[in-house]
Structure 1
Amino acid sequence: MKKYIDDFKVIKNERLNYEYVILTLQHPGQMPEMMPGQFVEVRVDNGPNTFLRRPISIHDVDMEANTMKLLVQEIGDGTRLMGQLKEGDNCNLVYPLGNSFSLPEKKRVLLVGGGCGIAPLLYMGRHLVANGIEPQFLLGARTQEGLIAMDAFSELGQLYTTTEDGSHGTKGFVIHHPVMRTQSPEIDQIYTCGPEAMMKVVAKYAKNHGIKCEVSLENHMACGFGACLCCVADTLDGHKCTCTDGPVFDSTYLKW
């Protein structure tokens, strides 16, 4: 798939809570096709310590409005500067990067996300609905405040939640939710993104129950083109670059 470098215009900066914002960016012309699971590399301007681009998952796409949404968690200098972007500012992107989630062969699908890992799952959910598949979502966070964009997810399919402190949904981690505890799950495929520990547990559950599982890795990706080799993942075929061979992998292909 062809890659582009373009200046997008910030048309909205929506603050969700103390650490998350959603940037809505508009393309200056006509956006190329983008697939769920892909990501962009964002140039961060006006920061003395931000000479590397920041990889951000594509959160949502509206081809009719010619817009893309990025869910940004402010955890460092670069993402904090991104969170300060205002309406009318330019945001330079290299895009679309990486591979994408595949469409399932069957229709009983569960998407599992934790923290900022929910980012690529919204666009994947929209893609599933467009293909006649109603997804189920299971989203986890430390507290209720960390559960974000729930309205957008619930518009697409059944939404389940967990919080570590029990302030919303099932208390505990995503693996503690009843939908992940049954010995006879009515699930044909799982897509997951989030903390590695969470994805490992989800992948193990899927393997034990004969469920196909695709994971989207959140490794550090400085270049996005496989040149810097800082994002390698250990697979059955040796080391692979997350930014070019991934970020989406079949969970059984990874040597975790």
Structure 2
Amino acid sequence: MGKNLQSTERPKLRPVDLAREHGLSTQAVRNYEEAGILPAAARSPHGYRGYTPLHAGALRAFLALLPGHGHPTATAIMRAVNEGAAEEAFRLIDESHAQLLEDRRTLRAVESALRDLDLGSPATPEPGGTFIGPLARRLGIRPATLRAWEDAGLVQPRRDPRTGYRVYDEAAVRDARLAHQLRRGGYPLERIAPLIAHVRTAGGLAPLEAALTEWHGRLSARGRAMLAGAAELDGYLRARG
């Protein structure tokens, strides 16, 4: 299908012609073709690639998909389209939109969790507390993850003086919940630790407002980028016929 379409295209473009439009190297363009992001190019008797406006459209579509979907998914989308598997490409796009929606829900959950916390007063330890296994199951993570969060300063369980087991009181459970939500939101451990430290000591949500605003901005940018990517991909699909 790709070769028939290419034969109808009049202008022949060199790799450098595609590369210059986007500030890429010619090797990057060749790599994109080898990865299936661009359809296979016709070759001259001397082995030189001859690209067409169809290839230029494929490159524009891929680069437009990147900010909203990420490199692996954008690559898979373009490869599926070039292989004639448009339904698979649409499924991948749907999955990205579903993930964006889930990330928005995660952000709302973080904001809700923060609002529900009584940050104005220090947490009072509960008489009992919970152990690492039950807490890990409640959060849907491994006990090793909680231990890693402890090493990073995200949670501070106390030790049972008799058994030496970790015991998570109300404050430690709160910190674990916040760490879990922020990790799901894409925050690295080194950025979560100071946020939780602020929660422990600041007595308000103000220190977290900038992070939450940035998070909102990232999600909005992804949504806008998905729209731009969809427009370019639709143009490429129309060009393929």
> TM range, normalised to the smaller chain?
under 0.3
Larger-gyration structure (1/2): 2
| TM, length-normalised to structure 1 | 0.21
Task: Tell which has more relative contact order, 1 or 2 (C-alpha 8 A, sep 6+).
Answer: 2
Higher strand share: 1
Higher helix share: 2
| TM, length-normalised to structure 2 | 0.22
